[in-house]
Structure 1
Amino acid sequence: MKKLLEVKDLHVSFQTYGGDVQAVRGVSFDLYTGETLAIVGESGSGKSVTAQSLLKLISIPPGRITKGQILFGGNDIVAKTEKQMESIRGKEISMIFQDPMTSLNPTMKVGKQITEVLIKHQNFSKTAAKERAVELLMQVGISMPEKRINQYPHEFSGGMRQRVMIAIALAANPKLLIADEPTTALDVTIQAQILELLKVLQAKMNTSIIFITHDFGVVAKIADRVAVMYAGQIIETGTVDEIFYDPRHPYTWGLLASTPRLDIDEKADLAAIPGAPPDLINPPKGDVFAARNEYALAIDFEEEPPIYQLSETHFVRTWLLHPNAPKVDPPESVKKRMRSLSSTFEEPVLVER
């Protein structure tokens, strides 16, 4: 596959009265054409900031990219001016935000919000743009599109508004679609429909997707590869089957174990990761997860762990993989949760080892 995006050693900070919050610290990853990469982690781990940095949506005070490269099609987005970014946003890279009600303009009809993208980025005439807007609404599963283009966002349900957002995002046939927790506010039935819609449209358009989420159930349904973020860093990345069947970082174990499942014994306690994320104004010395890690070694509190490569696609940042480290396996409670997760998905994308 052809490499579409390369993020190299990305650092993003936000200026506050208490000091600079180092929200993203040395993030690196690649994305290939037609691939879906899921970025997962707790709230505040840096997922959305990383995604928004790809469009330089945080590049005005108090947020700024302090270091790194974002190579899109070989060109460094970090070096581009705001004027140059106008030809990339919406045309080359589009974004679906979490809450469509706050993303859509409540004073404009949805048809107008779609056609302005087509007119600006695709040079459509007003007549052709309106016809295409109807086609896009039909494509994302909205019935009676000829009528719907003349309605306002408040006249749509939450799921329909999200479909409108997808239509807007795909109007200019972008190479990269960033979906920032687009199904979080939806019920599970509508969530499944939106995920299936994205998969169908991706296959049709060969668009690459970066999917931001904290839900491993969503990850299993849509992703090809997974990057696990914690405290502004990617601490584990791999294919879906590597993350679900062979996770190596204790934080990944905790996320998997804390995923609720209806088929688990209702009397069993849902696992939780103890403690709280670190203060990123003054990040701790050593491994940022050490204070919450029951398997932490003495060196975790002194030195930041390197990234160990386990396969061509599997990378993990933990001292537990050092040749001299004691062998530590996931606890049985985590293994049970992992087996449950992997065996109950409606459309498994994993192969048991």
Structure 2
Amino acid sequence: MEKILEVNDLHISFFTFSGEVQAIRGVDFHLLKGETLAIVGESGSGKSVTSKAIMRLLPESNSKIKNGEILFEGKDLTKLSDKEMQKIRGQDISMIFQDPMTSLNPTMKIGKQIIEPIVKHQKLSKSAAKRKALDLLNLVGIPNPEIRFNQYPHQFSGGMRQRVVIAIALACNPKILIADEPTTALDVTIQAQILELMKDLQKKIETSIIFITHDLGVVANVADRVAVMYGGKLVEIGTVDEVFYNPQHPYTWGLISSMPTLDTKEEELYAIPGTPPNLLYPPKGDAFAPRNEYAMKIDLEEPPPMFQVSPTHYAATWLLHSDAPKVEPPAEVKRRQIEFQAGGGK
């Protein structure tokens, strides 16, 4: 499959009163046409910063892309002017933000907010744009679109507002849709509906999706591949089955072990000890080493390279080095591996 987006050796810093925060430290990944790539990790791991860098939405006053390239259809987005980026935003690459209430203008009718990008990017007449807006409201599952078209955001529930935000993001048939924690502000039932909607929409409009979340459980149903981020770096990337049922990085082990199941008792739920690193002072070795019960001396001294596990699966852990001791993953990870193999997984 053809790559539509490539991020190569991306380094991003924020300049604060305390000093330089090295938020992204050499991130590499690609997105294929028509696939959904989920980027997961704890708060502060660099997921949203990476997505905003792709859209060039980072504040110019205190942030800087220090190194690397973001190639969209072969064009380096980091080299484009603001005017050139305005043509790409909304038309070629769209974004769904976390909180629909802050994404929508409370003083404008919903219909006008959907029509705006259609008129700007697709140069349609207002009547043609209105027809398309009504079609989009239908597409994202909003009943009575003709009535809803003339209503304001406060007249919609949280789930319906998020559907409107998705309609706006899809208005110009973007080639890439970035969904930044699109279900975090919603309750569990509405969350499931929005995830189902996104799966359904991808089949219909054949867009590529980057799905950002801190919840590994969410991505199992929506993603083709999963990238795990920690401390401003990618620590593991592979297909959903590879990352869920054959994870290699101790951080991924921790994330999977901390996912509750229907059988989990409250006192049994695992929590990764410690806190993420302070990126004002990035660690010399593996950023996860202080929280890693399997850490070796080399983890404190040198950052591990990406080791290849399979043609599609890579992980940055010294445990994959040929000289490393053999370590058994935690019980919950082993249980999932056994279940997967018993079910015919490879």
Tell me the TM-score normalised to structure 1 length.
Answer: 0.95
Identity across the alignment (%): 64
What pairs with 1:1-353 in structure 2 (closer than 5 Å)? 1-58=1-58, 60-261=60-261, 263-266=262-265, 268-336=267-335, 352-353=345-346
1:59, 1:65 within 8 Å by CA — same for their partners in 2? no
Amino acid at match of 2:301: E
Q: Helix, strand or coil: the match of 2:268?
A: coil
**Shift in Å, 1:192:** 1.2
Whether the 8 Å CA contact 2:246–2:337 is kept in 1: the answer is: no
The answer to whether the 8 A contact 2:13-2:64 is kept is: yes
**Distance across 2 between alignment mates of 1:304 and 1:136:** 47
Post-superposition offset of 1:57: 0.5
- TM-superposed CA distance for 1:336, in Å, is 3.6
> Which amino acid in 2 is paired with 1:243?
V
Name the CA distance, whole Å, in 2 between partners of 1:155 and 1:122.
28
Distance of aligned partners of 1:69 and 1:75 in 2 relative to their CA distance in 1, 3 Å threshold: same
Distance 1:119 1:351 in 2: 50
* TM-aligned CA deviation for residue 25 of structure 1: 0.7
Residues 302-339 of structure 1, C-alpha deviations (whole Å, 9 max, x = no match): 11111101111101101111100000121224434676
Shift in alpha-carbon separation, 1:117–1:267, aligned structure 2, 3 A: closer
Please provide the CA RMSD for this pair.
Answer: 1.5
One-letter amino acid of the structure 1 residue matched with residue 169 of structure 2: A
| Contact 1:38/1:225 (8 A) holds in 2 | yes
CA distance in 2, matches of 1:351, 1:28: 32
Aligned partner of 1:181: which letter? E
Equivalent-residue separation in structure 2 for 1:310 and 1:282 (angstroms): 30
Where 2:121 maps in the other structure, the secondary structure is: helix
1:193 and 1:129 map into 2 onto residues whose CA distance is 27
Over 3 Å counting, the alpha-carbon distance change for 1:218 and 1:351 in structure 2 is farther
**Taking structure 1 as reference, are residues 229 and 351 closer, same or farther at Cα in structure 2, changes over 3 Å only?**
farther
Q: What is the alpha-carbon distance in structure 2 between the residues aligned to residue 339 and residue 100 of structure 1? A: 40
1:159-182 CA-to-partner distances (Å, cap 9, x unmatched) read 000000000000000000000000
Find the residue that maps to 1:310 and give its secondary structure.
strand
Letter in 2 for 1:120: K
Question: Shift in Å at residue 265 of structure 1?
Answer: 3.7
Instruction: List runs of 5+ in structure 2 lacking aligned partners.
Output: none
Taking structure 1 as reference, are residues 180 and 334 closer, same or farther at Cα in structure 2, changes over 3 Å only? same
After superposition, the Cα gap between the structure-2 partners of 1:209 and 1:221, relative to the gap in structure 1 and judged at 3 Å, is same
Q: Which amino acid aligns with 2:251?
A: Y
Tell me the amino acid that sits aligned with residue 157 of structure 2: S
Q: CA deviation at 1:268?
A: 4.5
In the TM superposition, residue 60 of structure 1 has moved relative to its aligned partner by 0.8
8 A contact 2:91–2:174 mirrored in 1: yes
Displacement after TM superposition at 1:64 (Å): 1.5
Distance 1:188 1:334, change over 3 A: same
Mapped to 2, the partners of 1:80 and 1:276 lie a distance apart of 37
Change (3 A) 1:215 1:190: same
- AA in 2 matched with 1:266: K
Q: Distance in 2 between matches of 1:321 and 1:128?
A: 57
Cα deviation digits, residues 155-209 of structure 1 (max 9, x gap): 0000000000000000000000000000111112111111111111111111000
Of the structure 1 ranges 328-337 and 194-203, higher mean CA displacement relative to structure 2 is found in: 328-337
The letter for the 1-side match of 2:172 is A
Range that drifts further, 161-170 or 195-204: 195-204
CA distance in 2, matches of 1:302, 1:267: 37
User: Aligned partners of 1:226 and 1:265: how far apart in 2?
Assistant: 24
Equivalent-residue separation in structure 2 for 1:28 and 1:114 (angstroms):
34
* Alpha carbons 1:40, 1:47 under 8 Å: kept: yes
CA distance in 2, matches of 1:13, 1:281: 10
Q: Tell me if structure 2 keeps the 8 A contact 1:178–1:210.
A: yes
CA contact (8 A) 1:53 1:59 kept: no
- What TM-score, normalized to structure 2? 0.97
